[in-house]
Amino acid sequence: MEKKITVLRGDGIGPEIVNEALRVLDAVCKKYGHTFTYTDVDIGGCSIDKFGVPITDEGMEQCKNCDSVLLGAVGGPKWDSVDPSIRPEKALLKVRSELGLFANLRPTKLFPQLADASPLKDTVVGQGIDLMIVRELTGGIYFGKRSTTETNGEKVATDEMLYTEHEIERIGRVAFESARKRNKKLASVDKANVLDCSRLWRAVMHRLSEEYPDVQYSDILVDNTAMQLIRDPGQFDTIVTENMFGDILSDEASMLTGSIGMMPSASLSSGTLGMYEPIHGSAPDIAGMNIANPLGTILSAAMMLRYSFSMTEEADAIEAAVNRVLDEGYRTGDIMQEGMKKVSCSEMGTLVAERI
């Protein structure tokens, strides 16, 4: 099978971790007889430096005319002072919006080999952590109208949170279908005791739940969710929520596993086109040092094979290879434990590729 992949290496450690994911994908091609064609597009700070914008129109067209997009990370202190309209992060919002990537899937799984790395007590993590956060990605406060004005000599800033019924329904269906493929348990997170948006969200989710009687459905307020993720994360299986809540909760959940470097994500459209990326940032303080953890990016590549290419066996092979490398005691610095074998970013990628 032939597939075209647009590669957005980005800034900081982005190029390093993406290189290792491509190394693993090449190993998949060799074993299973596929052909993946990679086309690089600048995004984020490196694109600002070259072209004055975080992603060019030509780059966007390349993203639209491929089978999938693989992203590293964008941004860094170097670009903190640029005009807000062209900050590196604006490129991510543009890609998500123009590709229609409305559904963000963020699995949070504690690998048993890394149980000691979790900041939670053994009595909590001993029950296991394996949950999926489904985050709405193209609506809400990040895409609403915003303004900064001045009233009575004082600056006033406004950010609008807006959701339509159809936006809530389409992410809800993704969440219910995801729950069906897991353990048929879905928690919908909102702030319905305060926000009109959340009251509409809850009403739509309740209506959808009637179409999925096989899925155990519940509502939970966002502040309680944040608390419960620390107190008893094992109670959750699939969580669905709006854009800002999902952004915050998924980062919180990622740290339950001990390192944000292990966490992949998928951003999906209504078709097969998706963008896949680790959830961590560009980590400019360690860029170029060959010490970053590439496993989140490698596992994101596995999600790409599973969700965009329907290559289930190949995705399983990548995940099994990661498990095997961890079983054998190899660790990058962020997940290093006493008695384990410390390896570099490139060495970790090579190890996983060899075990494909």
190 is catalytic: no
Nearest to 131 by CA among 198, 69, 185, 71: 185
Measured from the Cβ of residue 195, the count of other Cβ atoms closer than 10 Å reads 16
From the candidates 3, 142, 276, 334, give the one annotated as an active-site residue: 142
From the candidates 223, 232, 285, 327, give the one annotated as an active-site residue: 223
From the candidates 64, 78, 185, 191, give the one annotated as an active-site residue: 191
Nearest to 103 by CA among 130, 132, 131, 129: 132
Measured from the Cβ of residue 128, the count of other Cβ atoms closer than 10 Å reads 12
Written as one string, the DSSP assignment of 262-326 is: G-EEEEE-SSS-EEEEESS---GGGTTSS-S--HHHHHHHHHHHHHTS--HHHHHHHHHHHHHHH
191 is catalytic: yes
Quickly tell me which residue has 């809400």 as its tokens.
Answer: 140
From the candidates 11, 247, 307, 334, give the one annotated as an active-site residue: 247
From the candidates 26, 130, 219, 251, give the one annotated as an active-site residue: 251
Q: How far apart are CA 68 and CA 52, in angstroms?
A: 25
Contacts of 224 (CB under 8 A, 6+ apart): none
**Cα–Cα distances in Å, from 245 out to 21, 126, 177, 355?**
29, 27, 21, 37
SS3 at position 147: strand
247 is catalytic: yes
223 is catalytic: yes
Enzyme catalytic residues? 142, 191, 223, 247, 251
